[in-house]
Amino acid sequence: MTVLTNKLETIMKTLKLIFCILWVSCIVPVHLVAQNKEVPVTTSSKEAKDFFLKGRDKLENSEAIAATALLDQAIQKDPNFALAYLYRSQSGGGFNVYRKNLDKAVSLAGKVSEGERTEILYYQAKSDGNGMKEKEYLDLLLKNFPSDKRIQMEAGTYYYGMNEYSKALEHLTKATELDKNFSPAYNMIGYCQSSLNNYKDAEKAFQSYIKLNPNRANPYDSYAELLLKMGKYDESIAQYKMAFEKDPVNFANSLLGVGHNYIFKGDYTSARKYYQDCYDKSTMPGGKLNGLYWKAVSYLYENKADAAVKVFDDYRAFAEKENLTINSMMAYANQGEIFTETGNPKEGMKYYEKAKDVIEKSKFSKVDMETFMTYSTLWQCYALTANGDFEKAKTEEVKAKAKIEASKNHADEMFLNSLMAYSAFKKGNYDEAIQYYSKSDNENPMIWYYQAMAYSKKGDKQNAAKLVEKIKKSNVNSLDLALVRNKALESLSMEEPKK
């Protein structure tokens, strides 16, 4: 139940969507900005423009590896190409590459149009976890460029990340009204409808996405994800394999989707085969780390925590070799959560301390250091609560709360509520726990589990059973689901009347 675990899983869920949202229209001189209905892009090189537009197209369809090469060429042709750096920050390569390119875009923000500057500052605020500034810049973009389909797309993605799916749909629908052939918007509409459990509408959106891009991999990968959620495992596997066959270079991660299907079919050996295939066939470190991550998670469904911890050791060793500090830190945090949720919170505390040590020894910028130290404070709060040291946990909670309230970062606010709920639950204050859990991430199965246990403890078996059934029927793979699924099913069977 670590904040960064949840945040990174959310990022993993939306990364392919983020590829679809950065904005660009046509390359024009800065003095013509006022005449444009869309955010312009400033560059001094026609060749850079050509590489950029091709890279944008690849990125909008989640073809990150191909996009990276094209964006790098755009930057080579025009070293002052601000939006090329912004796009490059999103196309992969690890946190260091992300931060380097984003910082470069920020340094150039004063040399481009006001719309481009606002875009760049929006992403800077997002990176810094400054929710108030992020929303301020988004509103400014919507005000100044209401007819820009990509601005509407960004707004939809923003509200999707806030779990405000109906609001997201308003902006995404507006994007398709502005351009009925703007395929990335249909992709996002599909995800929003899926999150609202409107499967028929989600399927319609994904089919539109496929129709507009029949020869690309991402539409099939997205549709496969919906089919998995619906429990149509064999159909989902076929679509994931279709995506991989169409683009094995950019879509080795589709093999992960095949593995997820086998998880919910109860065939963990086959699942791990496909996770290993993703590791073997990925050409980038991130893809290989994904394969190891899900291999570790697969063991948790079998109650093999020791095996999961061992795979995370392998994950961390690979991350350290590739100089991926955040992934190394996260390996410790994931292990801390595994130990804590499987009944050994003292050992879990040791791993959270190791994660903190990685942060303190890192070379992060001041703003990134503050962000990650806030995460560490939240981890400490969780671990201390799990170990029954409520007084020290409260001290850590107060420190984290002051920082989160100042930044108004929605994801962190939700996690802080879950920590206060967890503390109330551990103290036996079940009504208070339920209240706080209702303000946390309502899509996290860990939240469902503890909320169910709180209902059960106060004698409300009906609401407890509903939440446990929700866990039982979930087909969205995650570390948290793997940690609570068997516990939840065991609690459900104990509540069933004996025949």
pLDDT (average), residues 358-369: 92
pLDDT at res. 8? 43
User: How sure is the predictor about 407, in pLDDT bands with cuts at 50, 70 and 90?
Assistant: confident
Residues 6+ apart with CB under 8 A from 188: 17, 20, 21, 153, 156, 157, 160, 168, 172
Q: Is the pLDDT of residue 4 over 50?
A: no
Residue 69 reports pLDDT greater than 90: yes
pLDDT tens string 309-351: 999 999 999 999 999 999 999 999 999 999 999 999 999 999 9
> Rounded to whole angstroms, how far apart are CA atoms 158 and 160?
5
The answer to whether residue 45 scores a pLDDT higher than 60 is yes
Segment 376-403 shows an average pLDDT of 95
Polymer length of the chain: 499
Asked whether the beta carbons of 318 and 288 are under 8 A apart, the reply is yes
Q: To the nearest whole percent, how much of the chain has pLDDT over 70?
A: 91
- Kindly report whether the global pTM for this prediction surpasses the value 0.75: yes
In the structure, what pLDDT confidence band is assigned to residue 292 with cuts at 50, 70 and 90?
Answer: very high
Q: What is the pLDDT of residue 119?
A: 96
Look-up of token digits 């340094």: 107
Whether the predicted pLDDT of 162 surpasses 70? yes
pLDDT band for 31, please (50, 70, 90 cuts).
very low
What is the mean predicted confidence (pLDDT) over 375-394?
A: 96
Report which of 292, 322, 373 is spatially closest to residue 94, judged by C-alpha positions.
322
Average pLDDT over residues 226-232: 98
Segment 380-408 mean pLDDT: 93
Instruction: Collapse the DSSP code of 27 into the 3-class scheme (helix H, G, I; strand E, B; otherwise coil) and give the result.
Output: strand
Least confident of 27-41, 135-149, 253-267: 27-41
Q: Token digits for 432? A: 């208070």
Measured distance CA(210)–CA(182) in Å, rounded: 12
Contact call for residues 255 and 281 (beta carbons, < 8 A): yes
Nearest residue to 489 via CA among 475, 466, 471: 471
Q: Amino acid identity, residue 177?
A: E
* Mean pLDDT score of the chain: 91
Tens digits of per-residue pLDDT, 436-495?
Answer: 999 999 999 999 999 999 999 999 999 999 999 999 999 999 999 999 999 998 886 655
pLDDT at 10 over 60: no
Per-residue pLDDT at 21:
36
Q: How sure is the predictor about 32, in pLDDT bands with cuts at 50, 70 and 90?
A: very low
Instruction: Quote the pLDDT of residue 234.
Output: 98
